[in-house]
């Protein structure tokens, strides 16, 4: 694994861990923005890590959707990961999608599903 892909994947795991810790805090301490942003960054970094491991060029203006489509082009099983519920997938990472608990939960679940998928494929 290249050091760049390893850096992306390590950062993704770190962000997912932060989101998970926040997600399971008591309701009065729960900060949805933190879960959402860390989940978004985890998704983005998991996808970038997978792509750089496969020597795919990543442009600076990539969205989660464009990264996801590149992942599918390499590994068609990526289609098994549902990105449909993520409101920000066609935009640059943007906090305006982080206010509703359903969005936050969907984003966290997607990040967790990508993590599980990459571990199952022995990529991380």
**Per residue in 38-54, pLDDT tens?**
999 999 999 999 999 99
Question: What tokens were used for 1?
Answer: 């694994």
Domains of the chain: 3-120 (1.20.120.330)
| Three-state secondary structure string covering 79-106 | HHCCCCCCCCCCCCCCHHHCCCHHHHHH
Task: Give pTM, 2 decimals.
Answer: 0.89
Integer Cα distance of 37 and 25 in angstroms: 16
- Number of Cβ within 10 Å of residue 71's Cβ equals 23
Mean of the pLDDT values across residues 3-28? 92
What is the 8-class DSSP label of residue 105?
H
């Amino acid at each position: 694994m290249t050091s760049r892909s390893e850096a992306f994947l390590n950062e993704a795991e770190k962000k997912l861990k932060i989101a998970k810790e926040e997600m399971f805090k008591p309701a009065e301490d729960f900060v949805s923005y933190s879960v959402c942003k860390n989940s978004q960054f985890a998704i983005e970094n998991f996808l970038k890590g997978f792509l750089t491991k496969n020597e795919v060029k990543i442009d600076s203006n990539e969205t989660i959707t464009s990264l996801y489509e590149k992942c599918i082009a390499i590994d068609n099983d990526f289609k098994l990961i549902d990105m449909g519920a993520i409101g920000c997938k066609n935009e640059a990472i943007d906090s305006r999608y982080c206010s509703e608990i359903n969005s936050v939960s969907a984003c966290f679940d997607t990040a967790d599903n990508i993590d599980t998928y990459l571990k199952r494929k022995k990529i991380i």
